[in-house]
């Protein structure tokens, strides 16, 4: 179902009022985690002003350490829905369990499957039974073939609204958190009709490198970007070092605009 051979043209996935895979570069931005109503609303207004179309924010956080902040769960989803009401932005949230899917479908415009759950086949089937668009992140050590098979798990349950997200893979390089596989963009375009976006924040783990890779992704033909933005990155409860502040995000968006027009 994800294979280009058996599909006419490229898929355009509608999320809220925006279309991913169409002519426009879609930007999803927001904090790694929803921390409070104030933090989220401040970020939502800032990313909207800069030109983002979708607000991201984690309510269920799959952290490397069990002692790290795990997310506000349903309370976080409620704040996300409030931010949508205030700004008109569509919202995307990660789900980490079948119970989280049951709760999240009441609130979100797009469900996110994180890198760590890319091969959680029960979870893939569960989001495949919904009719809500799914953002499927590439697993930390997944090949492109495994990633497309994960998309197939979702689509074979009936939900064909899948958007892929390259977020960096594990390599021997330690200068960045992961290594952005920029070639995944043209490879996916050659194999699949599904849209692909790039997440330079999780790919690098370093805020200073995010703008370069965001531009590289657009130049390579990505349909959109996911970027972490926090009103005060040094106080963030998760992923502060890779989060842009609102001013830097605004600057990046203004630099991306002419590039997106040329491409
Ligand atoms: C995220 O987007 O919040 C996240 C945890 O990313 P990943 O699954 O790519 O690590
Ligand atoms: Mn994060």
Domain residue ranges in the chain: 4-262
Quick one: pLDDT at residue 128? Answer: 98
- Could you read off the pLDDT of 15-68 as tens digits, one per residue? 999 999 999 999 999 999 999 999 999 999 999 999 999 999 999 998 889 999
Q: Which atom of ligand 1 is nearest to the CA of 239?
A: 3
217 Cα: distance to centroid of ligand 1 (angstroms): 18
Dump pLDDT digits (tens) for 177-218: 999 999 999 999 999 999 999 999 999 999 999 999 999 999
CA distances to 119, 209, 218 from 200, rounded to whole Å, are 22, 8, 11
pLDDT exceeds cutoff 90 at 85 = yes
What distance in Å separates the CA atoms of residue 152 and residue 62, rounded to the nearest whole number? Answer: 23
Ligand 1 centroid distance, CA of 106 (Å): 21
> Which pLDDT does position 261 carry in this prediction?
84
Q: Is residue 32 within 6 Å of ligand 1 at its C-beta? A: yes
pLDDT value of position 263 = 73
Ligand 1 site-directed mutation target among 33, 115, 197, 228, most atoms within 8 Å of CB:
115
**What was the pLDDT predicted at 21?**
98
DSSP string, 201-215: HHHH--GGGHHHHHH
Token look-up 């997106």 returns 260
Helix (H, G, I), strand (E, B) or coil at 7: coil
Q: Domain 4-262's class?
A: alpha beta
Sign of CA dihedral 171, 184, 54, 256: positive
pTM higher than the cut 0.95: yes
pLDDT for 262 equals 79
């Amino acid at each position: 179902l994800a294979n280009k051979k058996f599909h006419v043209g490229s898929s355009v996935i509608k999320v809220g009022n925006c279309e991913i895979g169409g002519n426009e570069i879609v930007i999803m931005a927001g904090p790694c985690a929803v921390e409070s109503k104030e933090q989220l609303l401040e970020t939502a207004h800032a990313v909207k002003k800069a030109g983002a179309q979708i607000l991201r924010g984690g309510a269920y956080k799959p952290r490397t350490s069990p002692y790290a902040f795990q997310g506000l769960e349903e309370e976080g989803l409620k704040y996300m829905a409030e931010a949508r009401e205030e700004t008109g932005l569509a919202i995307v949230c990660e789900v980490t369990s079948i119970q989280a899917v049951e709760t999240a479908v009441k609130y979100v415009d797009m469900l996110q499957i994180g890198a760590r759950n890319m091969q959680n086949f029960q979870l893939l089937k569960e989001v495949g039974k919904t009719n809500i668009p799914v953002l499927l992140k590439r697993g930390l050590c997944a090949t492109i073939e495994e990633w497309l098979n994960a998309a197939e798990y979702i689509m074979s349950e009936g939900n064909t609204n899948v958007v892929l997200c390259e977020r960096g893979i594990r390599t021997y390089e330690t200068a960045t958190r992961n290594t952005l596989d920029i070639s995944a963009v043209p490879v996916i375009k050659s194999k699949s009709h599904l849209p692909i976006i790039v997440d330079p924040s999780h790919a690098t783990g370093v805020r200073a490198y995010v703008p370069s890779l965001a531009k590289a992704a657009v130049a390579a033909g990505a349909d959109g970007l996911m970027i972490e933005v926090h009103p005060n990155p040094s106080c963030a409860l998760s992923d502060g070092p890779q989060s842009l502040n609102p001013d830097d995000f605004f600057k990046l968006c203004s630099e991306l605009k002419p590039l997106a027009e040329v491409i």
